Amino acid sequence: MVEFIYREARLADEARYAEWLALWTDDGVYWVPATTDSDIDPEQHISHIYDNRARIDTRVKLLQTGHRYSQEPASLMRRLLSNVEVERGDTDEL
């Protein structure tokens, strides 16, 4: 389980976007809240990113075109992963 989190981070960090995108399910959501408040509703509050699977796909396609002027030079992305805990839910969700 933890290996998946490290793989996801590595693929994004290395700009291997097609492989990163393949990790997402159709109901996946990529959410980066603009606050540390854990009780917010992303539908009601501003977020840095709140994308569904279709929007994630669009972002990746745009990055792969090479015509993203906001990415000249490309943004650097690095993650610090620590204290990782994975819990299984009632279904196959983690």
Predicted local confidence at residue 57, as pLDDT = 92
Give the mean model confidence (pLDDT) for residues 73-84: 77
CA-closest candidate to residue 78, choices 3, 2, 14, 5: 14
pLDDT in tens, 27-75: 999 898 998 887 889 999 999 999 999 999 988 888 888 777 776 777 7
What is the C-alpha to C-alpha distance for residues 39 and 74, in angstroms, rounded to an integer?
A: 33
Whether the CB-CB separation of 52 and 78 falls below 8 Å is answered with no
Whether the CB-CB separation of 12 and 77 falls below 8 Å is answered with yes
Q: What is the pTM of this model?
A: 0.69
pLDDT in tens, 12-21: 888 898 999 9
What is the C-alpha to C-alpha distance for residues 51 and 31, in angstroms, rounded to an integer?
A: 6
